[in-house]
Amino acid sequence: MSDITILGGGVAGLAMAAELSGRGAAVTVVDPAGPVGAHACSWWAGGMLAPECEGVLTEPEVVRQGRKAAEWWAGQGAEVVRNGTLVVALGRDQRELASFARRAEGVASLDRDGLKALEPHLAEHFDRALFIESEAHLDPRASLTGLQARLEGRGVRFVTEPSPSGQVIDCRGLAARDALPDLRGVKGEMLVVRCPDVTLSRPVRLLHPRFPLYIVPRPDHVFMLGATQIESGERGRASLRSVMELMNAAYALHPAFGEAELLEIGVDARPAFPDNQPRLRQGADRLYANGLFRHGFLLAPTLARMAADWLLDNRTPEVWFEDHCER
Amino acid sequence: MPVFYGREIASRLMLGTAQYPSPAVLAEAFRRSGAGIATVSVRREAGGDRAGQDFWELIRDLDVALLPNTAGCHSVREAVTTAQMARELFDTNWIKLEVIGHGDTLQPDPFGLVEAAQALTEDGFEVFPYCTEDLVLCSRLVEVGCQVLMPWGAPIGTGLGLNNLYGLRSLRAHFPDLPLVVDAGLGLPSQAAQAIELGYDAVLLNTAVAKAGDPAAMAEGFARAVEAGALAHGADPMEPRDMAAPSTPVLGMPFK
């Protein structure tokens, strides 16, 4: 049986552990910070499994691979909600909807009645929306802790002290910058609020030329508002400007958010390569899996599957692979 | 080709570096456009300890002249501080000066602009002011030492093109020897061609390329348009006239 050590227990490391242990490998996950939590970038994620929406701003391969994510997470026991995504724009930005609809696939146009049938609260303020029915979302924190518990139950070891044995997969995110010079951080700030006056059943994206926003519903009228995208490796310090912009956009989406209770202000930096696409990079002593950018939950399953193909079956990954160590 | 503060630039196209889908797409847009100058934002949102360093390194790798800007600054003091930070970070005296006077339209604050331009010029900066096409404002900017003017075509990010042809033309006529750049508001290559046809030395844009479905193709489109505009301007265009004029007289109908 193959012996594999995974460095880093965020979304990349856990997905990797799930895939490899599921295929029979003996897996140890090393994370000096302990069980998955606030130290992982993915803890602050929105949890949208929205390949079509992401496709508007990214490469087709992200869309192709991302379409497999919802099924993968459901297969790992995560509670995946398949209610689609809604996209709206404020009055004078209506044209943004047209270009979004042209650039994404599987988009349906809704009038007020159509919107009302899906999200009555949103129909109070918008008379048009786009609907991408095939998309899904999950609760990132519940999914990560759930997956870790499931893996422990399956015999995956979780340790805080590194004692690498066998093959090593480095999933340390931005912490692996020491070895990956082309990796950079892209700062993101997010808010978690409770708003009993608003009910949403699916993520909503507000298109705006300067302050785009998405809102992801969590249980009990809790909402995640995200997320800024700033070219900076800073992992702390949410700025008043960013928080204000997020709040403003949420208020514009529905005035009831003005009365929401502010539960949390989160900030971290996403690890990204120059093309904002992830990589499996084979180094001399380890395989790096990194650069998930804003697509941790969307693309970690693909990276994990390809890494397992490579390490267990010697099958060369079909995308995002670099062999820096010809063997 | 345009000369800014004694430095000749090999292209009439200047591109911003914000809002691209990825740094790789940005680099490809620069490669295909041959743009000679990249503007780069040094807003303090990037954080202390040079946390934005990685992105700035990618911009340096583009191998074009860097023009740091004071984007997002709403006061003279903020703009001056940002400019000083930019000089230190990018080792250049060039600064694109933005002092925003209106949060929604991002219209320049003409009063703050003159004050900041004077302070920066006295401090040794070579200022590229983002201004309106107002002739009096532009004269003041020149008086305080600006050797290039960058009037808007339309508000930032609107893509509306050249909103005030008369004003832009008049500015060109009043400053025949000063480098003039249309900055902001361009959405299509034809609008960039129009600016160069008016005799402007260059155009500066960002959103039109960064937010296009295919930024690199759009960047190349702008590059070709700018070239077309320069050829047209240099070729001494015909004067438009109201009457249709057949280029070959029609025999037997001399007055038709």
A250 shares a domain with A224 = yes
B215: nearest CA partner in chain A? A57
Residue A2 clears pLDDT 90, i.e. is over it: no
For B:211-250, CB contacts with A below 8 A are: 211, 213
Nearest CA among B225, B153, B235 for reference residue B190: B225
Q: B157 and A241 in contact by Cβ < 8 A?
A: no
The two three-digit tokens of residue B233, written as one number: 């301007």
Chain A residues whose CB is inside 8 A of the B53 CB are 233
A119 shares a domain with A11 = no
A218 shares a domain with A120 = yes
Compute the distance between CA of residue A45 and CA of residue A24 in angstroms, rounded to an integer: 29
Q: B53 and A187 in contact by Cβ < 8 A?
A: no
- Cα-Cα end-to-end distance for chain B: 44
Compute the distance between CA of residue A222 and CA of residue A208 in angstroms, rounded to an integer: 23
Give the distance from residue B24's alpha carbon to the nearest chain A alpha carbon, in angstroms. Answer: 5
A198 shares a domain with A177 = no
| Average confidence (pLDDT) over A165-190 | 93
At residue B42, the pLDDT reads 83
Strands A222-226 and B37-41: unpaired
Q: B55 and A241 in contact by Cβ < 8 A?
A: no
Task: Using the structure block, give the residue that is written with the tokens 């009096």.
Answer: B136
At residue B105, the pLDDT reads 86
Nearest CA among B206, B229, B235, B234 for reference residue B219: B206
At residue A198, the pLDDT reads 93
Nearest CA among B61, B11, B4, B74 for reference residue B205: B11
* Domain contains A206: yes
| Average confidence (pLDDT) over A83-96 | 91
* Domain contains A75: no
Give the distance from residue B230's alpha carbon to the nearest chain A alpha carbon, in angstroms. Answer: 31
Chain B residues whose CB is inside 8 A of the A242 CB are 45
Burial A177-192 (b: 16+ CB within 10 A, else e): beebebbbbbbbbbbb
Residue A1 clears pLDDT 90, i.e. is over it: no
B211 catalytically annotated: no
* Contact (Cβ atoms closer than 8 angstroms) between residue A6 and residue A19: no
Give the distance from residue B32's alpha carbon to the nearest chain A alpha carbon, in angstroms. Answer: 17
Segment-wise mean pLDDT, segments of 10 residues, chain B, 256 residues: 94 94 95 94 68 83 92 91 91 94 90 96 96 96 96 93 95 95 96 96 96 95 97 90 67 62
* Contact (Cβ atoms closer than 8 angstroms) between residue B204 and residue B150: yes
A114 shares a domain with A15 = no
| The total number of structural domains that make up chain A | 2
Roughly what angle, to the nearest 10 degrees, separates helices B215-234 and B189-197?
Answer: 20
**Stated length of chain A:** 327
Compute the distance between CA of residue B220 and CA of residue B131 in angstroms, rounded to an integer: 26
Average pLDDT over chain A, rounded to an integer: 93
A163 shares a domain with A35 = yes
Rg of chain A taking only CA atoms, in angstroms = 20
* Contact (Cβ atoms closer than 8 angstroms) between residue B127 and residue B146: yes
What tens digit of pLDDT does each residue of A34-69 get?
A: 899 899 999 999 999 999 999 998 999 999 999 999
CATH number of the domain within which A244 lies = 3.30.9.10
Instruction: Mutation target for B interface from A230, A232, A276: give the one with most B CBs within 10 A.
Output: A232
CA dihedral over A180, A181, A186, A187, signed as positive or negative:
positive
A42 shares a domain with A100 = no
Q: A242 and B58 in contact by Cβ < 8 A?
A: no
Nearest CA among A136, A27, A31 for reference residue A75: A136
Select from B21, B157, B207 the Cβ nearest to the Cβ of A276: B21
Cα A256 off chain centre by? 27
Select from A209, A232, A272 the Cβ nearest to the Cβ of B47: A232
Element (H, E) at B154: none
∠A277-A217-A18 over CA atoms, to 5°?
50
Task: Using the structure block, give the residue that is written with the tokens 């979302």.
Answer: A137
- Cα-Cα end-to-end distance for chain A: 21
* Domain contains A153: yes
Show the domain range for A303: 3-66+138-181+275-323
A248 shares a domain with A191 = yes
* Domain contains A74: no
* Domain contains A79: no
Compute the distance between CA of residue A264 and CA of residue A238 in angstroms, rounded to an integer: 11
The two three-digit tokens of residue A295, written as one number: 């697509």
A51 shares a domain with A114 = no
- The β-bridge partners of B151 are B131
- The β-bridge partners of B3 are B8
* Contact (Cβ atoms closer than 8 angstroms) between residue A88 and residue A128: yes
* Domain contains A241: yes
A120 shares a domain with A216 = yes
Q: How many CB atoms lie within 10 A of CB B78?
A: 18
Query: Does residue B19 sit at the A interface (CB-CB below 8 Å)?
Result: no
What tens digit of pLDDT does each residue of A111-145 get?
A: 999 999 999 999 988 999 999 999 999 999 999 99
CATH number of the domain within which A7 lies = 3.50.50.60
- The β-bridge partners of A276 are none
Select from A58, A102, A274 the Cβ nearest to the Cβ of B23: A274
Query: 3-class SS at A71?
Result: helix
Element (H, E) at A177: none
Q: Catalytic: which of B12, B87, B96, B172?
A: B96
Compute the distance between CA of residue B24 and CA of residue B157 in angstroms, rounded to an integer: 22
Complex ipTM value: 0.84
| Average confidence (pLDDT) over A72-83 | 97
A173 shares a domain with A190 = no
| Average confidence (pLDDT) over A308-323 | 95
What tens digit of pLDDT does each residue of A210-264 get?
A: 788 999 999 999 999 998 999 888 888 899 989 999 999 999 999 999 999 999 9
Q: B46 and A234 in contact by Cβ < 8 A?
A: yes
* Domain contains A80: no
pTM above the 0.90 mark? no
A189 shares a domain with A111 = yes
**For the residues of A124-157, what is the DSSP string, one character each?**
TT-SEEEEETT-EE--HHHHHHHHHHHHHHTT-E
Q: A209 and B157 in contact by Cβ < 8 A?
A: yes
